[in-house]
Amino acid sequence: MKYHDIKEIYKSIFKSYSKPSLETHIKKIIELDKFLPYSSTYFCITNTQELKFEYISKNFNACLGFDAEDLKAKGMKYFWSLIHPEDIEVWLAALNHLMEFTLSEISEKDRACSNYTWNYRLKNAQGNYVNIIQNTTPLAFDASMKPIIGLAHYTVLSDNIKMPVTATAKLLNKQNEYETIYYNNFSQKLLQSGISNRERDVIRLLVLNYSSKEISNLLNISSHTVDTHRRNILKKLKISSTGELIGMLKLNKTLI
């Protein structure tokens, strides 16, 4: 697929007819970047309407080896040119499905509480393809409440890890906990056993070392229901213990 075609598909996904207004707290996010430690994660303020990066955090160079100002100047088209050729169409399909789901299934008032995750392989400055897990929280919307300005966190993982391209949407509930409302694996299935969205939330919280009682409070379900989910998860994945489950998923976080 040619990058001109990518641009047209991408623009159609995020098509907008109004200028976004940036949230004032973006300035504070940028200020805080000065105090964040170097790590394998960097963040950007993304503008999907104008196809550019409003801000790129200092960790970008440490993570990928590129110059942040160069990326800002060249924009998203340059960023796309670094994505692995085998992942481009799958990645675009994931974005398109997420946007269609958002507009049809998430109410306008809830979209400010949404959070999205997807992944792909990207070529770094050394010419090696690394795995990128991108987690984006919308900050501003167009007139039709389509998210167009986002705070995107990029976690860089080794190219030795085999990862399917997946996409996830979550909503923040009244207990201030994210609940999965959408999950799709756009590559070969790792989980072919029908793990539900609720079971994914239970798994994610187990990995964070929450007890069944704590999970029940966060997800507003009974402890008995949590334990039932735990048993069903072990049965579906054909493993014998929660410890084995947690160990497996810490190595393969795209499953959650």
Q: Which of 255, 87, 59 is nearest to 152 (CA)?
A: 59
Domain boundary among 173, 188, 203: 188
Rounded-to-integer distance, Cα 109 and Cα 16, Å: 18
The sign of the torsion formed by the CA atoms of 243, 130, 155, 65 equals positive
Interval 113-139 mean pLDDT = 94
Per-residue model confidence (pLDDT) at position 127: 95
Percent of the chain with pLDDT over 90: 39
Would you state the structure tokens that stand for residue 198, as one six-digit string?
Answer: 């609720």
Residue 22 reports pLDDT greater than 60: no
* Residue appearing with tokens 């793990």: 195
In a 13 Å sphere around the CA of 36, the CA atoms on its Cβ side amount to 17
Q: How confident is the model at residue 191 (pLDDT cuts 50, 70, 90)?
A: very low
Q: What residues contact residue 105 under an 8 Å CB cut-off, 6+ apart?
A: 181, 182
| Residue 9 and residue 41 share a domain | yes
CATH number at residue 174: 3.30.450.20
Contact status, residue 202 vs residue 221, Cβ threshold 8 Å = no
Per-residue model confidence (pLDDT) at position 190: 43
Task: Say which amino acid occupies 205.
Answer: L
Domain boundary among 188, 210, 228: 188
Residue 90 reports pLDDT greater than 80: yes
Per-residue model confidence (pLDDT) at position 10: 76
Per-residue model confidence (pLDDT) at position 203: 85
Q: How confident is the model at residue 18 (pLDDT cuts 50, 70, 90)?
A: low
Rounded-to-integer distance, Cα 229 and Cα 7, Å: 42
| Residue 57 and residue 182 share a domain | yes
| Residue 180 and residue 203 share a domain | no
Strands 129-141 and 114-123, how do they pair? antiparallel
Boundaries of domain holding 129: 3-188
Rounded-to-integer distance, Cα 200 and Cα 195, Å: 7
| Residue 195 and residue 181 share a domain | no
CATH number at residue 199: 1.10.10.10
| Residue 136 and residue 46 share a domain | yes
Kindly list the distances between the CA atom of residue 97 and the CA atoms of 158, 168, 239, 241, in Å, as whole numbers in the listed order.
27, 10, 31, 34
Say which range, 82-86, 143-147, 171-175, 186-190, has the weakest mean pLDDT: 186-190
| Residue 102 and residue 48 share a domain | yes
Would you state the structure tokens that stand for residue 163, as one six-digit string?
Answer: 């990862």
How many Å separate Cα 14 from the centre of its chain?
A: 17
Per-residue model confidence (pLDDT) at position 192: 47
| Residue 246 and residue 158 share a domain | no
Domain boundary among 170, 188, 206: 188
Interval 221-230 mean pLDDT = 90
Question: What pTM does this model have?
Answer: 0.73
Inter-residue long-range contacts of 18-22, CB under 8 Å, 24+ positions, other chains counted: 18/142, 18/143, 19/49, 20/47, 20/49, 20/140, 20/141, 20/142, 20/148, 20/149, 21/140, 22/54, 22/139, 22/140, 22/149
| Residue 125 and residue 106 share a domain | yes
Rounded-to-integer distance, Cα 174 and Cα 41, Å: 28
| Residue 198 and residue 182 share a domain | no
Residue 21 reports pLDDT greater than 80: no
Kindly list the distances between the CA atom of residue 256 and the CA atoms of 86, 114, 174, 189, 248, in Å, as whole numbers in the listed order.
23, 16, 21, 13, 11
Per-residue model confidence (pLDDT) at position 188: 54
Residues constituting the chain? 256
In the chain, the number of structural domains is 2
pLDDT, tens only, 115-126? 999 999 999 999
| Residue 141 and residue 15 share a domain | yes
* Residue appearing with tokens 């056993």: 193
| Residue 238 and residue 115 share a domain | no
